[in-house]
Copies of this chain bind each other. A is one copy, B any other.
Amino acid sequence: MPTITSVDVIDVRFPTSATLDGSDAMNPDGDYSAAYVVLGTDGDLEGYGLTFTIGRGNDLCVAAARQIGARLTGRDVDELAADLGGLYREIMADSQMRWLGPEKGVVHLSAAAVLNAAWDLAARRAGKPLWRFVADMTPEELVAACDFRYLSDALTPEEAVEMLARLAPTREERVAELARDGYPAYTTTPGWLGYSDDKLRRLCREAIADGWTHIKLKVGANIDDDIRRLGIAREEIGERTLMIDANQVWDVPEAIEWVNRLAPYAPLWIEEPTSPDDILGHAAIRKAIAPTGVATGEHAHNRVMFKQLLQAGAIDYCQIDSCRLASVNEIVPVMLMAAKFGVPVCPHAGGVGLCELVQHMSVVDYVCVSGTLEGRVLEYVDHLHEHFTDPVRIERGRYRLPGLPGYSAQMHPESIAAYRYPDGHEWAG
């Protein structure tokens, strides 16, 4: 019966702006960062979680996660692991903190960090990878861990149990398939906006050589540049699949015009064409640019936004993020709604640790929630994995099934010592 004895939250930042890794039309110079949570116990067991930011303000998430996490000190790990839905509801019920969102912004990002650590701790306690910990829950147990508040006009807990129960008998078949074949993915590594044409071309070639069949490019700063860059990418990748991502830079009419000018390059989807809050705007864009699809979600701040994106027919691809939604408790309901509405879940990843975390959610989607890989591709970006103790493993454009216990968010102590802000030696120097 281990007990949580400490909740540490550390500000870790990587100076990615120096190399323009991660540069896009809205975010030209992010320093990929994490508010990194460590739950200590009176035994050897620890739990690790994080939320992802791009630099300034990471300290706000650290401060919020400390406040939210404080309640975990003294808790029995087994009781916590047996009622992760209760912990979620307790955190969300703090009405004074709720006022600052509600369920959005710094407070929600920080709740994600704390809850990610709690799920990691529970999975480690069980000796299972997070996806397996979830896949071993009964439909009723999983639904009890989820937040269905404000969703009942789209999906009730009872429907969710039925959906999960239909797939439960065949879960192990899909696990075996993933263990054999991996989970399909795409790469954003070649396409950052700050990269030169030569670097774009070289990275496209390398991606193809590495077995990638789907590649994503950043667009939206300059239409002529976009046309030239898409031309280069198409030359290199041939008939393989190309996606584009505008990172919210356009108004609705501008998005329609711009994307239609890029249609000759046959992108599968345009990602974040406008404000992530603009559900009706995404729906209008989707109508006007078909057959190019619309993808969004990395900044959709909670399950209520996803509910409406689905209800409004606003998206072709549902891009959950493992650090913006408040952990498994909120992600699973979104995946259930996406399955009900027939929209594939293609998670956002990249940043710091997002690939490590969200791969577990894609496995849960296939094994427990949707039962299909049709239209699914999970984002991959080749940055910063070396800082994690259990980094993602990619083979020929597919994620290998994670095998170690936990949610894969643990960082190396050396990385934390180097990049903690502002006193790590990479920053203090």
Report which A residues bind B (CB closer than 8 A).
26-31, 53-57, 59-61, 63-64, 67, 94-109, 149-153, 248, 251-254, 274-281, 284, 299, 301-302, 304-305, 307-308, 311-312
Q: A99 to B280, alpha carbons, bound, how many Å?
A: 22
| Residues of B close to A55: CB separation below 8 A | 96, 99
| Residues of B close to A299: CB separation below 8 A | 102
Residue of B nearest to A101 (CB): B105
| Residues of B close to A94: CB separation below 8 A | 56
Give, as a whole number of angstroms, the nearest-CB distance from A14 to chain B: 13
Give, as a whole number of angstroms, the nearest-CB distance from A100 to chain B: 5
Q: A315 to B78, alpha carbons, bound, how many Å?
A: 46
Residue from B59, B100, B279, B311 within 8 A of A63 (CB atoms)? B59
| Residues of B close to A304: CB separation below 8 A | 275, 277-278, 281
Cβ contact within 8 Å between A275 and B150: yes
Chain A binding surface, main DSSP class: loop
Residue of B nearest to A26 (CB): B95
Cβ contact within 8 Å between B251 and A152: yes
19 more CB-based (< 8 A) A-B contacts, given A56-B97, A150-B278? A27-B96, A29-B95, A30-B95, A30-B99, A57-B64, A57-B100, A60-B60, A60-B107, A64-B106, A100-B106, A105-B108, A106-B107, A149-B275, A152-B251, A152-B252, A153-B251, A153-B284, A277-B301, A278-B307
With contacts A63-B59, A252-B152, A274-B150 taken as known, whether A53 is within 8 angstroms of B96 at the C-beta atoms is: yes
Cβ contact within 8 Å between A280 and B281: no
